[in-house]
A = this chain, B = another copy of it.
Amino acid sequence: MFEPNSIRTLVFDVLGTVVDEAGSVRSEFTGAMVAAGGTPQQGGELARAWSQRFDELLKAIHERTVPWRSTDDLYREALIHSLPEEPRLPKATVRHLAQVSHRLQPWPDAVDALQALSERFLIVALSNGNMSMLADMFRNAGLRWHCVLSGEMVHAYKPDPSVYRLAIDMLHLDPARTLMVAAHPWDLRAAATHGMRTAYIKRAGEGELRDTDRIDVAVDDLSELAAYFEASQEIGA
């Protein structure tokens, strides 16, 4: 049984959950390809190739076949690996695109919902993105937090246990009173193994729940999460 009024802390996944990582990347890559004489389709292909390579690099780090590197490094390497022969992007454009993660756009509901939720909960960002990427992105997107934690601080990527332990141990959280908020079921499953409660945010293309997943809250976006807690408070009061 899940008791919403027992929750004290919200721990947010960021990439895909709070910001539209895939859409922002696709949009910038497409713009650059078109500017270089290519087609929007070629932009979409670059984004898909980039995403696939990025996942491969993450997987290798997670399996410890290569050492940890920052998301800045992985974004850059995945991009360079995925560039087509034609059209050839100018070097300055490639440098700019390699930093696209610093400019990821928030989902439309994110800024207002975070503001509302921050008035009741301790709100914490817990992201695989490195700290400089997160800081720049939050500044550009207008997203502010009580605390920002990154896998960079333990040189690991979620779902590695050390990243969840970082939040629980450093902030002295009671996992049973802490809600992991994420669009990726794998992230929620990992958080649950540490005793955290789970909220699934249904973002298109970010991953679907399995029948066997035990999720405490499932909502379409962060506004709905804020409304859910507002309703629970009225009932609890």
Contact = CB atoms under 8 A, between A and B. Distances in A.
Interface residues of A, number: 25
B139 A146 contact: yes
A142 B120 CA distance: 10
A124 interface: yes
A16 to B, nearest CB: 19
Q: How many copies does the complex hold?
A: 2
A171 B132 contact: yes
Interface string A123-138: 1100000011011101
A184 B52 CA distance: 50
A138 B131 contact: no
A103 to B, nearest CB: 13
Given A132-B170, A172-B132, A145 B145 contact: yes
Interface string A112-130: 0000001101111000000
Nearest to A138: B146
A145 B114 CA distance: 12
A145 B142 contact: no
B147 A131 contact: yes
A153 interface: yes
Say whether chain A's binding surface is mostly helix, strand, loop, or mixed. mixed
Contact of A122 (B121, B122, B136, B172): B136
Interface string A146-184: 111000110000000000000000111000000000000
B118 A124 contact: no
When A and B form their complex, which 7 residue pairs have the shortest distance between CB atoms, in order from nearest?
A: A144-B144, A135-B147, A138-B146, A122-B139, A132-B172, A132-B171, A139-B146
Given A118-B144, A124-B135, A135-B171, 18 more contacts: A118-B139, A122-B135, A122-B136, A122-B139, A123-B144, A131-B147, A132-B170, A132-B171, A132-B172, A134-B147, A135-B146, A135-B147, A138-B146, A139-B146, A143-B146, A145-B148, A147-B148, A152-B170
15 contacts: A118-B139, A118-B142, A118-B144, A119-B142, A122-B135, A124-B135, A134-B146, A134-B147, A135-B147, A135-B171, A138-B146, A139-B146, A143-B146, A144-B144, A145-B148
